[in-house]
Structure 1
Amino acid sequence: MGHSKAFHPTCDKEDLEIVQLNPSQAIEIIMDTYGDEIKRLVFTYLKNSADTDDVTQEVFVTIYQKLNTFQGKSSLRSWIYSIAINKSKDYLRSWNSRNKRLREKLAQSSHTITKEEITPEDRTLQKDNSNELFTKVMDLPVKYREVIILFYFKELSTKEISQALKMNDATVRTRLNRGREKLKECLSPKRGGESHG
């Protein structure tokens, strides 16, 4: 799918043409082009495969409903990322109220998952997750995690990130720098030889 949209901070003609198709066709193209990307992005916020599926579905329903509002002020990719990020954050906010129930559910199911129940998507996410650096990134506070992932893993420019997160460029750069510093601290060997029990 040779889409090299990562480096286009503003809308191009192709973006508008996709959106101007009838909504069913447009959402099909968008899901084919960005489906996996969005799922992985949502996972970086939720860190949970089942919730990731639900929220990803919600993201595409919202994109479908809002297609007529896309005016090309940013790239289609930034616009889609913006919706995915907002849905993920909304979910995390509402998650606090369900936290206890979810914990109980996870405690019951975490040890009962068999190999057959692991989906190909889960495997892909686990592959990413097994990478030490990615795991450390996932441990960062959300405000640093999101900019690091968007910049390094999704290859968005700082301008695209500022559009997707609706914050100014300077804030994005500051968070990128702080996030990098925090990562360096996490990755440098700790003094006093802590053991991981």
Structure 2
Amino acid sequence: MGNSKNEEIVWVKRAIKGDKEALGLILEKNQAYIYKMAYIYTGNQQDALDILQEAAAQSVDAIRTLKEPNYFLTWFCKIMIRQTGKLFKNRQHEVLVEGNQEWVDRAGLIFTDSTSIDILKAVMMLEDKYRLVLQLYYYQDFSVREIGQLLELKEGTVKTNLKRGREQLRKILGEDYYDRSR
């Protein structure tokens, strides 16, 4: 594993110096992770592919700005987050997420397919700052610290956004929704 990571760092350094093939190798090696993150941000396959394409194109020009090769994936995910924000701002309609089985509730709720869809739809209605931290925390199992690093937020801000996001979900879904899901 360590050797693979070292090889990636060499590729990142080459990419920073302008080697587009090295950038392609890094993106290819991490494509499953990058796609999963894009899907979590957008909630559907087509939008995930769109932001991936835009982020990859943008990274070709912006790779020179990456200062720490070890944080390539964090840097690339920030580009995808910005692309997701642009995508959603350009839309007049609400993005609906259906059939996503990946929702994990750490409070111990039992979900059926319909409750999972209800919650995912509600999550998509949240402001970006709440939606992103909830998705990273619950879908991706990122720690508060990791979310803070990824989004360049203080840990306290991440905790506040998680709490406020859950409160907004409770308002959207209704106070008794959680009782029905247990």
TM-score range for the pair, normalised by the shorter chain length: 0.5 to 0.7
- Return closer, same or farther for 1:157/1:131 CA change in 2, 3 Å cut-off: farther
* 1:28 paired residue among 9, 15, 25: 25
Alignment of 1:75-114 (within 5 A): 75-96=71-92, 99=93
Q: Is the 8 A contact 2:78 2:150 kept in 1?
A: yes
Partner of 1:51: 47
Kindly provide the CA deviation profile for residues 145-171 of structure 1, in whole angstroms up to 9, marking residues without a partner as x.
Answer: 211221232233323322332333221
Shift of 1:135: 5.5
- Return closer, same or farther for 1:61/1:135 CA change in 2, 3 Å cut-off: farther
Q: Is the 8 A contact 1:59 1:83 kept in 2?
A: yes
3-state SS of paired residue (2:58): helix
- Matches of 1:74 and 1:62 in 2, distance apart? 19
- Return closer, same or farther for 1:67/1:95 CA change in 2, 3 Å cut-off: same
Shift of 1:50: 2.1
* 1:188 paired residue among 170, 178, 181: 178
Question: Partner letter of residue 11 of structure 2?
Answer: I
- Return closer, same or farther for 1:30/1:80 CA change in 2, 3 Å cut-off: same
Match status 1:172 vs 2:158: yes
Q: Which segments of 5 or more consecutive residues in structure 2 lack a partner in the other structure?
A: 104-112
Counting aligned pairs with the same residue, the percent is: 22
- Matches of 2:117 and 2:147 in 1, distance apart? 19
Match status 1:160 vs 2:146: yes
Which of 1 and 2 has higher RCO (CA within 8 Å, sep 6+)?
Answer: 1
Kindly provide the CA deviation profile for residues 48-69 of structure 1, in whole angstroms up to 9, marking residues without a partner as x.
Answer: 3322221211112222322221
- Matches of 1:178 and 1:74 in 2, distance apart? 32
Shift of 1:39: 2.5
Q: Which segments of 5 or more consecutive residues in structure 1 lack a partner in the other structure?
A: 4-11, 104-124, 191-197
Q: Is the 8 A contact 1:82 1:164 kept in 2?
A: yes
- Matches of 1:15 and 1:134 in 2, distance apart? 37
- Return closer, same or farther for 1:159/1:74 CA change in 2, 3 Å cut-off: farther
Question: Partner letter of residue 84 of structure 2?
Answer: S
- Return closer, same or farther for 1:84/1:139 CA change in 2, 3 Å cut-off: same
Partner of 1:112: none
Kindly provide the CA deviation profile for residues 36-89 of structure 1, in whole angstroms up to 9, marking residues without a partner as x.
Answer: 333333333433332222121111222232222111187222212111101100
Q: TM-score, normalised by structure 2?
A: 0.65
Q: Is the 8 A contact 2:52 2:80 kept in 1?
A: yes
Q: TM-score, normalised by structure 1?
A: 0.61
- Matches of 1:138 and 1:14 in 2, distance apart? 40
Once superposed, what is the RMSD of the aligned Cα atoms? 3.5
